[in-house]
Amino acid sequence: MIRISVFGLAPVGLVTAVCFARKGNQVIGIDPDRDRLEKTRRAEAPFFEPKLKDYLAETVANGTFSVTDDAFMNTRSDLAYMTVGTPSSQDGSIDLTYVKNAATHRSINP
């Protein structure tokens, strides 16, 4: 079993995390949005994606997927995925603030 951290639980991150958990990996999702975390802990998908509700319920119930707002949880993982936002800066370049914050164990939010 591989231990995987997924930073950011918006549509890309949550779906990725749940799919890894369904494959038998131990997955921890990390996100600063407490409402999203609480819904996910209750196995309530915070957005619609086909079959996500069922897969989320399955992985939360069997313990292969859990969530936290503690970025330091990554230190217990074999792999880490960054699925945080990369918005455009005012000059049109990519803003890597969220990625840098997650990578340095700071809050995902800038």
**Per residue in 45-66, pLDDT tens?**
999 999 999 999 999 999 999 9
Angle at 80 (CA atoms; ends 12, 17), nearest 5 degrees? 35
Residue 110: other Cβ atoms inside 10 A: 10
The span from the CA of 36 to the CA of 53, in Å, is 14
CA neighbor of 22 nearest in space, from 50, 62, 82, 53: 62
Q: Report which residue type is found at 4.
A: I
CB 27 within 8 A of CB 64: yes
Predicted confidence (pLDDT) per residue in 79-95, tens digit: 989 998 889 989 999 99
Annotated domain spans of the chain: 3-85
For residue 88, the SS3 value is: strand
Q: May I ask the CATH class of domain 3-85? A: alpha beta
Contacts of 33 (CB under 8 A, 6+ apart): 9
Predicted TM-score (pTM) of this structure? 0.85
